[in-house]
Amino acid sequence: MDQWQTAGYLAWSMQNIASFLPVHPIARGARTTAFARTPQDLSALAVPHPWGGETRTFAEVMAATDTDGYVVTKDGAIVEESYSEPFAPQNVHLLMSVSKSLTTATAGILEGTGELDPSFHVAHYVPALAGSGYVGATVQDLMDMRTGIHFSEDYLDDAAEVRLLEEAIDWAPRRHEGVPLTLLGFLATLRADGPHGGRFDYKSCETDALGFVLEGATGINAADVMATRLWQPMGAEFDAHVGVDRVGAPMLDGGVSASLRDLARFGSLFLRDGYALDGVPVLPSWWVADTAIGAWDSRAAFANAPEPTLMDGGMYRNGFWFPRAGSDVFLALGIHGQMIYINRAARVVAAKVSTWPSPQDGEKLLSTIAAFDAAAFALS
């Protein structure tokens, strides 16, 4: 358990989570939406280096960014799809924080049905957090990463809250005394050190709290809510799953594993105003628009982030990253190189799963975005 997230083992473990950790299924339904196929060779596309280095080809960027697999689609058709053995189309891969975007989208669906009000306080749906730092925080604050909760996301510090959370759900050996035995118990210990609704401050705990909001709003385990409200209506091809703690609570900040094509299916909802590839409504169209436009102060809140974002002029809204101003591109991102790329202007969706040796790598992140930008430009 102290090795699976290290460079020597990551390539295997991210494709085999269910073999050594407890998981809860996110079941596909009877209906699968189909991609058309319009094959094109993207390998020779020129990709500028994000920091002014030597131009590389699309294929060189994919090779240099520890890619396990990628798929590029245009208007619901697969243009190019590639897998590095042993990863294959039917296999699932740990998504890390791409899981957050799936979770916020599920919350958006519940908003559309009236089961969830994002302006309500978190404790309205999760009474167990009524004595925590979440008092006064709204559900929208969770989705936009704008609570005042104190939480370090320093992945290289084993005493940071992001790593203590892993101890609480038994994803890591227990090195620190007093860490609660459940995810909800851990969230209840968190305290605020700033105002809620203020600046953007990326904290994984927010999406775990949102998972308990989903359960509180429906009375159903959040993984099952995701399955019945999102995964099945969008026509997923394969079952997904999510890691759970010892009482079965899903770790939705980074514990979902899914197939590459199903990530592209999810991303395609945002090209189609919330509709699946076969026209079935999944996400509220107004929620998709709200995500793309952002709140009136989303960009200012993002600019005031306490940590560098490498995305000047960007924003974070409803679980998605918008890397630059004046662009129709947005992203679902996870550490070690997980990404869904959505370019609404070019009508291109791409997905990539990777095993970067280190959790964060700015050069690899920006190079991947540049490669998908080049593909979107070529395809449009």
The arithmetic mean of pLDDT across residues 61-69, rounded, is 98
Asked whether the predicted pLDDT for residue 327 surpasses 90, the reply is: no
Any idea which architecture 7-379 has in CATH? 3-Layer(aba) Sandwich (3.40)
Cα 337 from Cα 365, distance rounded (Å): 7
Q: What is the mean pLDDT of the segment spanning 170-196?
A: 97
User: Which are the contacts of 216, defined by CB distance < 8 A and separation ≥ 6?
Assistant: 124, 125, 126, 127
For the cut 90, the answer to whether the pLDDT of residue 53 exceeds it is: no
Tokens of 19: 């073999």
Has residue 51 got a pLDDT over 90?
no
Q: Pick the catalytic residue: 13, 97, 257, 298?
A: 97
pLDDT band for position 178 (cuts 50, 70, 90): very high
- SS3 state of residue 42: coil
**Residue 206: enclosing H or E segment and its boundaries?**
helix 205-218
Q: Which two tokens stand for residue 42?
A: 């993207």
How long, in residues, is the chain?
A: 380
Residue with tokens 């010892």: 246
Cβ atoms of 335 and 345 closer than 8 Å:
no
Rounded average pLDDT over 252-273:
98
**152 included as an active-site residue:** no
Q: What is the rounded average pLDDT of the residues 258-287?
A: 98
98, 339 Cβ separation under 8 angstroms: yes
Q: pLDDT tens across 131-141, in order?
A: 999 999 999 99
358, HSE (Cβ side, Cα atoms, 13 Å): 9
Confidence check: pLDDT of 269 > 90: yes
The pTM score is: 0.98
Residue 326's pLDDT is 85
pLDDT bracket for residue 306 (50, 70, 90):
very high
**What's the rounded Cα separation, in Å, for the pair 226 and 213?**
13
